[in-house]
Amino acid sequence: MTTQPLVNPSTSFAPAPQTPQVFLENLVKEYGTLRALGGVSFNIEPGEWIALMGPSGSGKTTLINILGGLDTATSGRVTVNGQDITRLGESDLVRYRAEKIGFVFQQFHLVPYLTALENVMLAQYFHSVTDESQAVESLKRVGLADRLEHLPSKLSGGEQQRVAIARALINQPKLILADEPTGNLDEANEDIVINIFRELHQAGHTILMVTHDVDIARNASRRIELTHGHLTLDTTCNFLEPAKLCPHGKPFPSSGCCSTLDSKSCNP
């Protein structure tokens, strides 16, 4: 497969450095009596690639949904590019999702009766104005120049995920949220997709990616782990050595690891 550079050099995606792009402050999400997120706080700097990890039910998807404006927080604040999204109404959240977020899902979530090209153009259509040549270019960048008119059912899983990535990127979002983007892919397609994310990262995109796979997480510049809705690890370790986990409520073993987690959060 040949892919073109994912990012137009003239286009800047990242805000000015040193300014956190995302602030999460004491984020709580409750479903009835179930507390999915129990007061999560962290910042995301522009251009970071964060691997969001943790066991099933730890609140990863809930966190990414709130950050993407798909769900609302019970309490706490989420500020993205200076905008507190917890205060946004439904119509503002729609604009927020269209303009600032690029979603990549594990299940791809392509519209089955639209072609690859139309799926990408659909995001343009909801954002502002469709531009077919731009959409074609976007698909070429993920190596699908010869699959433009294919329906999702005629594409492999990897190809569908690449269409989803092209769709996520078409409106040049500030933040890419990927929920286990390789979860349904074989190894070959996983490599292709991760390479695309690597290129996006190198081009300055901010990526928050939920994954269970430590090998995939090693590509990220930072790793955050949730357990039972609490932040238990926030590290910029390069994962050359197995990460040292911080079980919920236990002191975080900071020695030998370049954790950025506030020591007060883990130490008694």
Partner 1 sequence: MPNPSANRSMFRRILRRLLFANRGRLFVILLALSAGAAVSAALLNLQVDAKRRLTSEFRAFGANILVLPKSSAASSGGLMTETQLSRLALPLDMKVSIHAASLLYTIAEVAPGSSPSFSPVVLVGYAGVLPGSAPLDSLSQEARQTLRGSQSAENKSCIAGQQVATRLSVSAGDRLSFRNGNLTLGCVLTAILKTGGAEDGQIFLPLLKAQELAGKIGKISVIQINASGTLAQIEEYAQTLQQEFPELEVRPLRQFSEAQAKIYSRISGLLTAATALILALTALCVMAAMTNIAAERRNDVGMMKAIGGSARRVLNLFLTEAVILGLVGGLIGAAAGIALSVALGKAVFGVAAAPRLIVYPISVSLTVIVAILGAYPLRRLVNVRPATIFRGEA
Site residues (vs partner 1, CB under 8 A): 61, 65, 68, 70-71, 90-91, 94-95, 97-99, 103, 105, 107, 109-114, 118, 121-132, 167, 171, 179
Give me the DSSP letters along 82-128. TEEGGG--HHHHHHHHHHHEEEEETT----TTS-HHHHHHHHHHHHS
Whichever of 63 and 261 has its CB closer to partner 1, that residue is: 63
Minimum distance from residue 72 beta carbon to partner 1 (Å): 9
Helices (H), the chain: 60-67, 90-100, 116-127, 132-141, 157-169, 187-202, 214-217, 263-266
CA angle 82, 85, 89 (to 5 degrees): 130
- Smallest gap, in angstroms, from Cβ of residue 130 to partner 1? 4
The alpha carbon torsion through 145, 135, 108, 74 (nearest 10 deg) reads: 160
CB of 245 to partner 1, least distance (A): 26
CA–CA dist 194, 197 (Å, integer): 5
List b or e across 32-41, with b for residues whose CB sees 16 or more CB atoms inside 10 angstroms: eeebbbbbbe
Which residue number, 22 or 101, has a Cβ lying nearer to partner 1? 101
CB of 125 to partner 1, least distance (A): 5
Backbone angles phi, psi at 164, to 5 degrees: -60, -35
Question: Minimal distance in Å, beta carbon 21 to partner 1?
Answer: 19
Q: Which is nearer to partner 1, 90 or 241 (CB)?
A: 90
Instruction: Residue 171: name the closest of 135, 196, 206, 147 by CA.
Output: 135
Listed in sequence order, the DSSP H helices in 115-186 are 116-127, 132-141, 157-169
- Count other C-beta atoms under 10 Å from residue 137's C-beta: 16
Q: Which residue number, 84 or 131, has a Cβ lying nearer to partner 1?
A: 131
Instruction: State which residue, 133 or 255, has the beta carbon closest to partner 1.
Output: 133
Between 81 and 265, CB nearer to partner 1: 81
Q: How far is the CB of 59 from partner 1 (least distance, A)?
A: 12
